[in-house]
Amino acid sequence: MKQADLDHFKRWFNRYVAQYHDLSGDGVKPILLKEQHTKRTCTEIVLVGRKPGLSGEDLLLAEAVALFHDIGRFPQWKRYGTFIDSGSADHALLGLDVVSRYKILARIPPEEQELICEAIRHHNLRELPTSLSQRQYLFSGLLRDADKLDIWGLVISELEGRGNLIETLAGYIPISDSFSRHIVAELKEGKVPDFSSVRNRNDMILLRLGWVFDLNFKESCRLVLERNYVDRLCDHLPVRSELQEVKEYLISYLKNCANDTS
């Protein structure tokens, strides 16, 4: 991909999203949230992608992947008034529909078009399928890491009182002093918990902590440690010995991954 292609895509993205800026009342706030999230994810994917030594053209392609990954969120919000896929439609598939309908990728080679579409298709799955090619896995993995890095930062800002959009992201979730022992057990086994186990805000925090097991690059692990994401999320959990054990295990896991020389 060339810089001129990415510049063209960014201009198109800005024009496309602008049509949603006229939603009445607070309806535009979630649109702005996703617009800002997209732009920050573009920054994150370049941060992560530089460390594996991607070429300049591949970094441009990675940024284009991030630019389009949530393009389906905008029609999703306007049509359904929610970002919850189970209560509306799969936003990845909505995004692929937007990309196809506008033929926005037509200017780049077919193999690059396919990489972008496959990354969009798989970015919100619980795990990546084993059928992906090496290049598809690379760009899908980069996107999933960059997406998580920004969502962690956004959620932490919300929890620390610098926003009020958590329910927009995940719907109403009860606040409780309890937490799922099942999720805790999965975390101690190094597993990413399933959303079906979530019953309250503490469970949702634990679920998001479990995302560390789905990171694909050492640089992503290093950034999570550098930004103290685990500590800052755990600050909003009850003070319990088993939760302290989970925190210590997660931090140890991230340190091992970040320092892995294999």
Return the residue matching tokens 């090496």: 134
Average pLDDT, the chain: 93
For residues 63-89, give the mean pLDDT.
95
Q: Would you place residue 37 in the very low, low, confident or very high pLDDT band (cuts 50, 70, 90)?
A: very high
The single-letter DSSP state of residue 19 is T
Asked if pLDDT for residue 113 goes beyond 80, the answer is yes
- Give the pLDDT of residue 166: 59
CB-based contact 204:210 (threshold 8 Å) = no
Asked if pLDDT for residue 169 goes beyond 70, the answer is no
Asked if pLDDT for residue 163 goes beyond 60, the answer is no
Which residue would you say has higher pLDDT here, 23 or 212? Answer: 212
For residues 203-224, give the mean pLDDT.
96
For residues 67-79, give the mean pLDDT.
97
- Give the pLDDT of residue 162: 61
Tell me how long the chain is.
Answer: 262
The single-letter DSSP state of residue 86 is G
Q: Count CB-CB contacts under 10 A for residue 79.
A: 11
Q: Would you place residue 164 in the very low, low, confident or very high pLDDT band (cuts 50, 70, 90)?
A: low
Q: Which of 15, 49, 212 is nearest to 143 (CA)?
A: 49
Asked if pLDDT for residue 174 goes beyond 90, the answer is no
Give the ranges where the chain is alpha helix by DSSP (H).
3-18, 28-50, 56-68, 73-80, 91-102, 110-122, 134-159, 166-170, 181-188, 201-209, 218-226, 229-234, 241-258
Whole-model pTM: value is: 0.94
- Give the pLDDT of residue 64: 98
Q: Would you place residue 25 in the very low, low, confident or very high pLDDT band (cuts 50, 70, 90)?
A: confident
- Give the pLDDT of residue 27: 82
Q: Would you place residue 168 in the very low, low, confident or very high pLDDT band (cuts 50, 70, 90)?
A: low
- Give the pLDDT of residue 148: 97
